Structures are given as structure tokens and as C-alpha cells.
Amino acid sequence: MAPVIVIAVDGPGGVGKSTVSRTLAKRLGLAYVNTGAMYRAYALAAIKKGVDIHDKEALEGFCKGASIVYDAAKGSVSVNGDDYTEEVGGLKAGESASIISTNAEVRRRLVAYQRSLGLRASCVMEGRDIGTVVFPDAAIKFFLDAPPDVRAKRRGAEFSTASNVSIDHALRQRDKRDAERRESPLKPAQDAVVVDTAELDLNGVVDKLLEILKDRGIC
Ligand code: DC
């Protein structure tokens, strides 16, 4: 059996990580693992159970009984048997995920689960800490970036119902929380390939990543 390959894709919100990673995985015939969807589903499941997600102890109590299943083939995610695949895309899910992702116990459990998935099958795994924490030995670590105003514009196109001002504000707040948290803050791994996506469209980014993978003889 060929050894598994993990391609790590990290970066801030609104940079286009999910679309790029999903497309890249498809082009390479690899599984696509969206770790943000796991934090989002976990947060929604906690809220559904009546847990105050700002309450450390309550959240850690929730973690003890929570079981997550991410199905890369179906692109589905469920917690305690409840399917959250449709709901994870919403703004509320993203904001709540960012809040619970500051909790060490939440991270410990989800990171362990993500490692188990990455050891099972070759994949493109996207998130915030894949190259720094989850798979520091990943075959390659991409860090996608773009200035906040460009990312807010992309998010705005995704959520036409929310005002651009509120999207921009929420995104900057989330950037700050993700980058300043004590547990696995968002930052490029030392050996990450940082790709500025500001001037590129989806296909441009995917082509660039494929070129780098080819140059390095990875895929
Ligand atoms: O990538 P996303 O927008 O779906 O992520 C939602 C939140 O989840 C993000 O604000 C921080 C958290 N997250 C994380 O801390 N670590 C990851 N590997 C993925 C997401």
C-alpha cells in the first residue's frame, strides 16, 4: 500500500480555502477534509444541547460525551448522530466555531480525530493549524492569504443577505480571535508555502498549487 500523503491548506477566513482545497482534492483524486466544518458542527451541537459556548467547564463537559463523524466521500459531518452538513455553512456556525476553537479540550479532541482521518487516506486537509499542529510532517503546507478587504468582499459575495459592513467587521474580529488565541493560533508553519491569492481567481490559485506540487514531485 502506498504511504498516505497529507496536503495541508491553512489560512484566514474568507481567503477561499474551502473551494480551493475541494477543487485541488478533486483534481488530484484525493479525499477532501474540511476541519472548519468539524469546529462548526461541534459548536452547533453544543448550542443545541443548551451549552453556553463561552463557559469553559460546560463546554468541556459537552466534549466528554460528544462523538463526531466526518465522511469525506459524502462531505457530511455529524455530531452525536445529528447531521449538521447543511447548517455548517452559515455565519452563526462560523462565529460560534471561532469561539469554541479557543478551548484546549475541544482542540485536543478534534485534532486527534483529524489525525486519525489523515492517517487513513491521502487527503487535502484544510484549516487553521494543519501545518503547524495536526500534521507538522505534511508532504506540503500551503498557507493561503489575502488582505482583509479582499477576503471580506469574497465573503460578501458568498452571503448576499448580510451587509458588507457587518461581514467586514465580523471577519476582522474573527481574524483577531483566531490569530491571538493561546491554543494553536493561526499562523503559517515555518516551512509553509505562502500564496497570496489577492490577484488570483479560484482556478488561478488551484493551478498555482498544482504547479508547486509538480515542481516538488509530490503529486
Ligand atoms: O475555516 P472555517 O471558517 O470553517 O473555520 C471556522 C472557525 O473554526 C475558525 O474561525 C477557527 C476554527 N478552526 C480552527 O480553529 N482550526 C481549524 N483547523 C479549523 C477551524
Mean pLDDT by 10 residues, the chain (219 residues): 88 95 98 98 98 97 96 96 96 93 97 97 97 97 96 84 80 92 95 97 97 95
50-82 per-position pLDDT tens digit: 999 999 999 999 999 999 999 999 999 999 999
Domains and CATH numbers, the chain: 6-213 (3.40.50.300)
Q: Distance (Å, rounded) from C-alpha 146 to C-alpha 108? A: 29
Helix (H) or strand (E) holding 169: helix 164-180
**Per-residue buried b or exposed e for 168-183, using 16+ beta carbons within 10 Å of the residue's own CB:** bebbeebbebbeebee
Nearest atom within ligand 1 for CA of residue 174:
10
Q: Distance (Å, rounded) from C-alpha 53 to C-alpha 176? A: 18
Any ligand 1 atom below 6 A from CB of 40: yes
To test the ligand 1 pocket, which listed residue (98, 103, 109) has its Cβ within 8 A of the most ligand atoms?
A: 98
Nearest atom within ligand 1 for CA of residue 17:
1
